[in-house]
Amino acid sequence: GWGDLGVFGEPSKETPNLDQMASEGMLFLDFYTANPLCSPSRAALLTGRLPVRNGFYTTNAHARNAYTPQDIVGGIPDSELLLPELLKKAGYTNKIIGKWHLGHRPQFHPMKHGFDEWFGSPNCHFGPFDNRALPNIPVYRDWEMIGRYYEDFKIDLKTGEANLTQIYLQEALDFISKQQASQQPFFLYWAIDATHAPVYASKHFLGTSQRGLYGDAVREIDDSIGKILKHLQKLGISENTFVFFTSDNGAALISAPKQGGSNGRFLCGKQTTFEGGMREPAIAWWPGHIPAGGVSHQLGNVMDLFTTSLSLAGLQPPSDRQIDGIDLLPAILQGKLIDRPIFYYRGNEMMAVRVGLYKAHYWTWSNSWEEYSKGVDFCPGQNVSGVTTHTQEEHTTLPLLFHLGRDPGEKYPLSFASDEYQRAMEQISVVVQQHKATMVPGEPQLNVCDKAVMNWSPPGCEKLGKCLKQPKSDPKKCFWPH
Amino acid sequence: GWGDLGVFGEPSKETPNLDQMASEGMLFLDFYTANPLCSPSRAALLTGRLPVRNGFYTTNAHARNAYTPQDIVGGIPDSELLLPELLKKAGYTNKIIGKWHLGHRPQFHPMKHGFDEWFGSPNCHFGPFDNRALPNIPVYRDWEMIGRYYEDFKIDLKTGEANLTQIYLQEALDFISKQQASQQPFFLYWAIDATHAPVYASKHFLGTSQRGLYGDAVREIDDSIGKILKHLQKLGISENTFVFFTSDNGAALISAPKQGGSNGRFLCGKQTTFEGGMREPAIAWWPGHIPAGGVSHQLGNVMDLFTTSLSLAGLQPPSDRQIDGIDLLPAILQGKLIDRPIFYYRGNEMMAVRVGLYKAHYWTWSNSWEEYSKGVDFCPGQNVSGVTTHTQEEHTTLPLLFHLGRDPGEKYPLSFASDEYQRAMEQISVVVQQHKATMVPGEPQLNVCDKAVMNWSPPGCEKLGKCLKQPKSDPKKCFWPH
C-alpha cells in the first residue's frame, strides 16, 4: 500500500532502501494501478491497456472484481502484445521472476508472450491446498515446473517463515550479472509476493519489524531492493538501467492488522475504487538521468510503464489498438505535467474518474451487506456515509465529487449546488463521454471457470513424480463475490 | 497534525523546508503533546509538567478538555517555574512571538514569567468579536498592547488573507540578528497560529497549495521556517543553535477539509486522546551535532523540551517538584532509547497510557452524542466500534489494548484472552499504579470564568483609544463541552 513506505509516512519508517531510492530518484505521489486487484493490474502493466480492453475482467455480474484463480479458463489473449514481446525487437532479454498471474494454461505461459526466462509461479502462493480438490501451486523454471509451494518451496504458516524472497533476490542478481557479462540489454519484471497473505519472511527478517510479520515482509523486500540497486551500481550499469518500483493494488485491509498493510490516509483498500484501493507507491530511479530527490504530481498509471519502457528502448507503442499508457519520460526527465485522466474500473463498469485534483464517483461500492455481515470489510474503521456503500450505488446523473488535494481521504463530497461542483463536472463529463464513446471492450477472459484447468499436471510434473489426476471438464460461470 | 508534513506522507508534499530540516536533522516518529488542546499543551511545554500538575485543567466535569478563552480567570500560577525563568540564570534572553495562551490577566503576562520580550497575543485569533459581548483579541509588544486583531491586524475571513505569519517571521529574524550582534544566548519561542481556524495566509501564498487555504497556511509556515534556519546559517550560528519543530495538538478534524489538517493514518484529531489528537510532527535540528537524516523512535513529549533545553544550557531542572519531561539529548546525540511512558489526559482523568509499542485505553470518548448530533465530529469518516465512543466509556478493569506498531490507527484492540494482552497489561499496570500513587494534582486553573476578566482594557489601550468598558464581575463555573 501507498502508506507502507517510510517516505510515504509509515510511522515505523522501516524502508530505508526504498526511501533512499526515492531520495536518489523521483517520487510519484499520484500514481495509480489500472485495477484494484492483482491479475487485471498486471495484465494492464504488461499490455499498456485497461483490463476492460485486454480482457482481464468479468461480465458475470455487475461491477465485479475478477482475477485468475486456479480454475480460470481464460488468460492473456494471443492478440494482446506484451511489453517483453515488443522489447525483443530492440534486442532485449526478458525475464519474469515471481508471480505471473496472467493465466496458467499452456497458451498463457509467459514464455509464449515474450519472456525468455521465468522463475516463479503462475498463481498466488496462498494455500496450502490438498492436491485433491485443489493442487498446490507449481513453481516454474522456464518451461517446466520444478516443484510446488509448501511441498518443495516451504512456507511455514505458523511462523511465517519462507525464504522465497531470498530466492527471488538471488535470481534477480544472477540474471543481472549474466546480462551485464554478455552486454545484452534486459527487462526484468521482479514480481515478488511476500506481502500478499499469507505473508512471509525469511528467518533473518522474522521479528525485526515493529509492525509484525507484515512489516518483516516489507523489510525483506526493502532490503532486497537495496541489494538490487547496489548490484547495478557495483556492475557499473546503474546509469544505463531504468528502475521503477510500484505495486499492483492497494493494501488488503481485510487482512489487517496481522497480514495487511497500510494505505496511509487514503480511503479503504484493495478491491475498491477508492484511493486506498488504487493509489500506489511509486519511485523511478535512474542515476545520472533522473534528478535526485525529485517529486512528481504527474498522474501516472502502471500502464504508463509499458509505453515508457518502449520509449526508453527507442520503440513506438503499437498503432493498431488503443493504448492507455502514456510515455512518462517528459515528466520524469523534464519535470513536465501531462494532462490525462485516471479511470477506476470494476469489471466493465467505470466506477470513478480522476481529472486533475477532482475525482468523480459514478458508482460506489465497498462490498455487499452479505459479505460485510460475515466480517469481510474493505474499509475497516472507516465509514463515510453514502460513499463506502454496501450496496452498489449509482451516481451517474449526479456523481459524488471530491477534491483530492483538500480531501485525499474522500470524506467530504462537494456540494452539488456549488459553483465548484458545476465547473469541475463540466470538464469531467467531457472526458468521460469521450472515453465511453470510443471504448471497445475486449472479450472477457474471467467469466469461465473449470476445475479441469487447474494446475494438475504442469509440464515437468512427470520428472518430479508430481502429476495429479485431472478431473473431468465441467466449465461454469465463475462466481465473483465483490 | 502529524500528517501535514511531506516527510510524514502528506500526499501533496508541500513542506520542502521542513522536509529538508528533517533530512539535515532528526525526525521523531513517536513524539507527543501533553494534552490534545492548546493551552494545557503550551503550559506543559514551558513547565515540563503534565497539565494536571501545573493546573491547566478543569474539574468542572469528568474528563473534560479546557483551555484559556477570554473569560478564564486562571492562568499560569506564580508557583510554576517556566523554562525562560530558568534560562535567565544561564544568561539567556527569552522572547515569545505569537500566541501565549497561558492566561491573559496581568499576573499571567509572559514577561512576569521569564520572557524578556513578547510580540503576539494572549489568546487565539478567532473572532472577530464585537467589542461588546467579547472584545477583539489584543496584540502586544512587550508590556503593552499595540492594537487588536481584525481592527489593527487584519484577517480577511472571506479570502483568508492576513500577513501575521510574515510579521512573526520578521520579528524572529530581527530578534535572532540582535542576539547574534550582541553575542547573547537566546531562547525564541516561535508560536505561530496560521493553521488554527480561522486559517490564514499572506497574499503571496494564497492559492498556492493543492490543499486549499489550510495548505496555503502550512506552506507559509514551512517557508518561514526555511528562512529562519537559513538566517541562522547566514549569521554563522547554526552550529550553536538548537532548533526544535513540533505542534501543540493534533489537527482539528472538526475544521476539515477547508480549515483542518491531517493526522495521517492516526485515529481522530484534536480534543481526543487517540493518536490523532496527541502524536505530533517533531524535528530536531542542530547542524554539526545532530547526525543528518536521523530517525528516532524515542517516545518524546513536548515536556521534554523543557528538560532538554535546560540541559543544553547546562542547567538542572528544579528538584522541588515532579518534572515529567526528560532530557532527550542522549536520544538525539547518541541515538539512545530511553524507556518512559506517555500519558494521555483529559482534565484530571488519565484516559490512556503508552508503554513501548502498547497503548492501553482506560477511558474512551470522542465527544458526546448531543454534540455529535449537531455535527461536531472529532473523528470524521472514522468509526471504530467501542473505541471512538460518544459516551464516556470506562475500561479501567479491562483496558482496551492496541499494538501501535502493527496497528497505528487504533482499529484492532487485542483480544483480552490473548497471552500478549496479559503480558503487556502486567507491565502497563505497574507503570500506571506508580504514576497514580505519586500524582499530586495542582490547583485547577480552568474552572472559573468571568466576563469581567476579558481583554477589555489591556495596558496600552489608553494610548490607542481602544479601552472598552469592563462589565461587572460575575464569576461562574466554566462550561466545557468535551
Q: What is the pLDDT of residues B200-234, one digit of tens each?
A: 999 999 999 999 999 999 999 999 999 999 999 99
Residues from chain A contacting residue B257 (CB–CB below 8 Å): 403, 406-407, 411-412
Q: A62, A101, A196, A449: which one is catalytic? A: A101
pLDDT of residue A440: 96
- Was A339 annotated as part of a binding site? no
Which residue blocks in B12-144 are alpha helix, DSSP H?
A: 16-24, 38-47, 51-54, 83-88
Most A CBs within 10 Å, among B15, B210, B216, to test the A interface: B210
Strand partners, A353: A343, A360
CB contact under 8 A, A406 and B215: yes
Of B214, B381, B407, the CB nearest to A382: B381
> Up-side HSE of residue A48: CA atoms within 13 Å toward CB?
27
Q: Is B268 a catalytic residue?
A: no
A-B Cβ pairs (cutoff 8 Å, strict): 119
Residue B276: closest CA among chain A residues belongs to which residue?
A: A265
pLDDT digits (tens, 9 = 90+) for A81-124: 999 999 999 999 999 999 999 999 999 999 999 999 999 999 99
pLDDT of residue B175: 98
Pairing of strands B294-296, B300-301: unpaired
Query: Averaged over A137-160, what is the pLDDT?
Result: 97
Q: B38, B268, B449, B478: which one is catalytic? A: B38
Which residue blocks in A48-128 are alpha helix, DSSP H?
A: 51-54, 83-88
pLDDT digits (tens, 9 = 90+) for A64-87: 999 999 999 999 999 999 999 999
Residues from chain B contacting residue A30 (CB–CB below 8 Å): 11
pLDDT digits (tens, 9 = 90+) for B62-120: 999 999 999 999 999 999 999 999 999 999 999 999 999 999 999 999 999 999 999 99
Cβ–Cβ < 8 Å for B270, B254: yes
Question: CB-based burial of residue B467 (10 Å sphere; 0-12 exposed, 13-18 middle, 19+ buried)?
Answer: middle
CB contact under 8 A, A267 and B381: yes
- Was A461 annotated as part of a binding site? no
CB contact under 8 A, A406 and B258: yes
CB contact under 8 A, B406 and A267: no
Most A CBs within 10 Å, among B5, B10, B12, to test the A interface: B12
Q: Give, in degrees to the nearest 5, the angle at Cα A96 between A90 and A100.
A: 125
- Was A17 annotated as part of a binding site? no
Of A8, A9, A406, the CB nearest to B212: A406
pLDDT of residue A273: 98
CA-based end-to-end distance of chain A? 20
Q: Give, in degrees to the nearest 5, the angle at Cα B359 between B356 and B361.
A: 155
Query: What's the gap in Å between the CA of B69 and the closest CA on chain A?
Result: 29
> Up-side HSE of residue A125: CA atoms within 13 Å toward CB?
32
Q: Is A231 a catalytic residue?
A: no
Cβ–Cβ < 8 Å for B40, B56: yes
Q: Which helix (H) or strand (E) holds A97?
A: strand A93-99
Query: What's the gap in Å between the CA of A62 and the closest CA on chain B?
Result: 27
Query: What's the gap in Å between the CA of B278 and the closest CA on chain A?
Result: 14
The structural domains of chain A, ordered by start, are 6-339 (3.40.720.10), 349-438 (3.30.1120.10)
pLDDT of residue A348: 97
Spans of chain B, pLDDT less than 50: none
For chain A, give the mean pLDDT.
97
Share of chain A above pLDDT 70, in %: 100
- Cβ-based interface (< 8 Å): residues of B facing A: 3, 6-13, 23, 27, 29-30, 209-212, 214-215, 256-258, 262, 264-267, 279, 295, 297, 357, 380-384, 403-409, 411-412
The answer, yes or no, to whether the previous bond of A128 is cis (omega within 30 of 0) is: yes
pLDDT of residue A31: 98
Q: What is the DSSP letter of B24?
A: H
Query: Averaged over A425-432, what is the pLDDT?
Result: 98
Cβ–Cβ < 8 Å for B27, B300: no
A166 — phi, psi (to 5°)? -65, -40
Most A CBs within 10 Å, among B7, B213, B298, B406, to test the A interface: B406
Query: What's the gap in Å between the CA of B307 and the closest CA on chain A?
Result: 25
pLDDT digits (tens, 9 = 90+) for A378-408: 999 999 999 999 999 999 999 999 999 999 9
pLDDT of residue A56: 98
Task: Centre a 10 Å sphere on the Cβ of residue A344 and count the other Cβ atoms it contains.
Answer: 26
Which residue blocks in B92-212 are alpha helix, DSSP H?
A: 164-181
Residue A213 C-alpha from the chain's centroid: 21
The model's pTM: 0.97
Residue A23: closest CA among chain B residues belongs to which residue?
A: B23
A478 — phi, psi (to 5°)? -70, 145
CA A178 vs CA A81, A146, A182, B463: distances in Å:
26, 22, 6, 84
Query: Averaged over A40-56, what is the pLDDT?
Result: 98
In which band, very low, low, confident or very high, does the pLDDT at A205 lie, cut at 50, 70 and 90? very high
